[in-house]
Amino acid sequence: METNPNWFLRARLKTRQLLLLIALDEQRNIHRASEELHMTQPAASKQLKDLEEMLGVQLFDRLPRGMEPTIYGETMIRHARMALTSLSLAHEDIVAIKAGLSGQVDIGTIMTPGISLLPVAITRTKAQAPKLRIGVEMEQSNILLEQLQRGRLDFMIGRIPERQSAEGLSYEELGDEPACAVVRPGHPLLKARNLSLRDIASQPWILPPQGSILRARCELMFRRAGLEVPSNVVDTTAVLLIKPLLQQTDALNVMPIAVAKYYESQNVLNILPIELPCRMDAYGIITVDGHIMSPGASLLLKAVREVAKEMY
């Protein structure tokens, strides 16, 4: 199959065909998909057949009880979603600009830059474009990457997990994420001198769930020191639960230093005087190759880069 970046022009690709791909992915049935798009079933079948002939591949397997996308189909569905999301955002930007606003920017971030870097970047951006609407998702990197690849985010600040493909993504490193141990104000260990890992290994802990990167790094830290991993543990990353648990018990919690410093400044918790040999991988700005940034997204991205340069 020849490589032609403008194949869709020659093939006269229709927006209707993109909508049909998404409807088929969601319904897995040509009859229900055609009903959803207010088309006849023969018309929907023809549009799908025309698209498959244009591409020279089969996009869906026809099964007795419905349809399943092939690997080619999954690829086209993903790009169809991104294309339609982009068109939808273009319309929203135009409506917003006509109304005297500056459009919508949607970004994702993991916790550390979300608490330290991003508030400063957003404040600077808002000073230049007060009517720019900024949406922020704070989640784990794997969840944000899925949103980014579906075209729901303009860019994200996070990391690309080892088991996830980086194909089609651009990564620009910003900083790393060292961790620390935190406790409630007034905790007995805050008065201790020369704390060691042995002193804290047997304490009750609040840790990220099994399978998370920070949990694995934390347990590895104890094993490398020849110690048993903590056994009295509550598994959670929910800050709204962690704070009262810390305040009502003598438990310890491990969290990124930048996040801990923020909560310490609010007198919610204190950082234990021990340097943990435990850190997360570096994180950075992640974008989708070929994604055209809106003026508002470019403005915010520029502010993120400037603030990161100052901080890191």
CA dist., res. 16 & res. 281, Å (int): 43
Between 2 and 76, name the one with better pLDDT.
76
284 backbone dihedrals φ, ψ, rounded to 5°:
-165, -175
Per the CB < 8 A criterion, the answer to whether 132 and 101 are in contact is: yes
Q: Is the pLDDT of residue 8 over 80?
A: no
For 164-183, write each residue's pLDDT tens digit. 667 889 999 998 888 999 99
Q: State the pLDDT confidence band at 288, using cuts at 50, 70 and 90.
A: very high
Between 258 and 135, name the one with better pLDDT.
135
pLDDT score recorded for residue 301: 95
For 74-102, write each residue's pLDDT tens digit. 989 998 888 888 887 777 767 665 554 45
In angstroms, what CA-CA distances link 218 with 208, 254, 255, 278, 289? 9, 8, 10, 6, 34
Q: State the pLDDT confidence band at 279, using cuts at 50, 70 and 90.
A: confident
Lowest mean pLDDT segment, chosen from 57-61, 101-105, 133-137: 101-105
pLDDT score recorded for residue 1: 45
For 125-170, write each residue's pLDDT tens digit. 998 888 888 999 998 888 899 999 888 999 999 988 776 667 889 9
Q: What is the mean pLDDT of residues 28-49?
A: 89
Q: Is the pLDDT of residue 118 over 80?
A: yes
Per-chain mean pLDDT for the chain = 87
Lowest mean pLDDT segment, chosen from 67-81, 94-108, 182-196, 204-218: 94-108
CA dist., res. 242 & res. 235, Å (int): 10
Between 252 and 13, name the one with better pLDDT.
252
Between 55 and 3, name the one with better pLDDT.
55
Between 144 and 14, name the one with better pLDDT.
144
pLDDT score recorded for residue 99: 54
Residue percentage of the chain with pLDDT more than 90: 43
Domains (ranges, CATH) in the chain? 6-90 (1.10.10.10), 101-175+282-311 (3.40.190.10), 177-280 (3.40.190.10)
> What is the CA angle 262-284-308, rounded to 5?
55
pLDDT score recorded for residue 186: 94
pLDDT score recorded for residue 96: 62
Q: State the pLDDT confidence band at 206, using cuts at 50, 70 and 90.
A: very high
CB neighbours of residue 233 within 10 Å: 15
CB neighbours of residue 162 within 10 Å: 7
In angstroms, what CA-CA distances link 200 with 192, 252, 279? 11, 8, 17
Q: Is the pLDDT of residue 25 over 80?
A: yes
- The SS3 call for residue 234 is strand
- With 0-12 / 13-18 / 19 or more C-beta atoms within 10 angstroms meaning exposed / middle / buried, residue 160 is middle
pLDDT score recorded for residue 12: 67
Q: What is the mean pLDDT of residues 28-38?
A: 90
In angstroms, what CA-CA distances link 298 with 49, 97, 98, 175, 304? 39, 16, 20, 21, 10
